[in-house]
């Protein structure tokens, strides 16, 4: 079934603003989230829907929109649904509480569970001649109970961008595109069988990915975890709320395990100390940058995740033996003439 919602060709008795509400209600049948769009008053969307037994296939194109599923909504209505999405056009910015934002770009597969809160921004792209940006994607919604893997085992796969390059992931991507092209010609007798094939494909892909991760030695996994933690910290140095608890949650591990592994892999330095050192090093570089001479010291410190000037001054002096102001003056006095 294909539903086109076009405010330029309104149905009898339908106001322009009602098209967004109609589309939102159709999406909410399998993807229950609070939905908003800056284009709600002139919403033009297309939604293709095919029921494959317990599996729902969706193809949709719409202006930019936001989907938020908070803890309260999860508690009130969770059917344990898995959402597999292939982004075709535009970008999805996906965030879960306490984790960094992931981006899903055209060609990326992503897997999300209705049992976890999330905040997704579907950002469309504007083609010449279009009044609003467009976002397009294909999706599969199905009960998590159909998978032979428990949800806890799947956590490393959730909320990540998976770029199909070969094997089963690429087969799923091609299958979704083909299903979208052929949906109108699929009869009722075949839908249940196709739904089973879809679940088998997804199960095979997830099993392959998890087995590949399990094949790594414990030492390799530990080193990879620590490198991922360091990369996460570097990306989020600006956030004063970047605590070990937040870092551990973002990597689906306990705080105690984070402390133990990070300290062992970092020559005894804790993750908090490493984060503080990275922040001070960034501030040290920024203060010596002639291009930033006009930026107040407290602003540079806040950009590095240390918003309290007194805390920053004490930590900087303890690390470098002089105040941030003195370091800036010395560094700029020694800068080449042309850069001052």
What are the structural domain ranges in the chain? 2-214, 218-339
Q: What are the per-10-residue average pLDDT scores of the chain (340 residues)? A: 46 57 84 90 86 92 93 88 95 86 93 93 84 91 88 84 87 93 84 88 87 71 81 87 90 90 92 94 91 91 93 94 93 66
pLDDT for the residue numbered 9: 39
Please give the backbone phi and psi of residue 97, each rounded to the nearest 5 degrees, phi first. Answer: -55, 130
Give the list of residues 6+ apart from residue 153 with CB closer than 8 angstroms, or none: 210
pLDDT for the residue numbered 14: 45
Superfamily of domain 2-214: Jelly Rolls (2.60.120.10)
Residue 33 token pair:
């989230």
Cα distances from 185 to residues 4, 48, 140, 175, in angstroms, run 19, 13, 18, 15
| Sheet order of strands, 65-69 included | 34-36, 65-69, 118-123, 91-95, 102-104
Task: Find out if CATH 1.10.10.60 is the number for domain 218-339.
Answer: yes
Which value, to the nearest 10 degrees, does the dihedral of the CA atoms of residues 317, 323, 326, 327 take?
A: 40
pLDDT for the residue numbered 15: 52
pLDDT for the residue numbered 120: 95
Tokens 């109108």 sit on residue: 184
């Amino acid at each position: 079934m294909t539903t086109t919602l076009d405010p330029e060709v309104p149905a009898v008795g339908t106001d322009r603003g009602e098209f967004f509400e109609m589309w939102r209600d159709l999406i909410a049948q399998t993807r229950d989230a609070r939905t908003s769009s800056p284009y709600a008053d002139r919403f033009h969307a297309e939604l293709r829907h095919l029921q494959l037994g317990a599996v729902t296939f969706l193809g949709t194109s719409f202006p930019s929109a936001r989907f938020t599923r908070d803890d309260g909504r999860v508690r009130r209505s969770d059917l344990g649904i898995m959402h597999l999405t292939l982004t075709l056009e535009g970008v999805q910015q996906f965030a879960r509480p306490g984790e960094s934002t992931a981006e899903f770009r055209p060609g990326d597969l992503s897997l999300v569970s209705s049992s976890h809160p999330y905040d997704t921004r579907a950002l469309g792209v504007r083609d010449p001649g279009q009044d609003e940006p467009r976002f397009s994607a294909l999706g599969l919604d199905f009960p998590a109970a159909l998978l032979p893997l428990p949800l806890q085992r799947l956590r490393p796969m959730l909320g990540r961008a998976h770029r199909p390059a070969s094997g089963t992931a690429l087969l799923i991507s091609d299958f979704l595109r083909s299903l979208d092209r052929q949906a109108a010609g699929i009869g009722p007798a075949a839908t249940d069988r196709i739904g089973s094939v879809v679940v088998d494909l997804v199960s095979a892909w997830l099993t392959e990915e998890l087995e590949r991760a399990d094949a790594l030695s414990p030492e390799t996994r530990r080193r990879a975890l620590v490198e991922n933690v360091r990369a996460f910290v570097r990306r989020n140095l600006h956030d004063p709320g970047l605590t070990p608890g937040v870092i551990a949650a973002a990597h689906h591990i306990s705080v105690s395990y984070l402390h133990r592994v990070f300290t062992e892999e970092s020559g005894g330095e804790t993750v908090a100390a490493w984060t503080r050192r990275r922040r001070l090093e960034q501030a040290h570089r920024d203060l010596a940058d002639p291009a930033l001479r006009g930026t107040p010291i407290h602003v540079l410190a806040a950009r590095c995740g240390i918003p309290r000037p007194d805390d920053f001054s004490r930590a900087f002096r303890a690390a470098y033996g002089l105040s941030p102001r003195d370091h800036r003056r010395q560094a700029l006095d020694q800068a080449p003439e042309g850069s001052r």
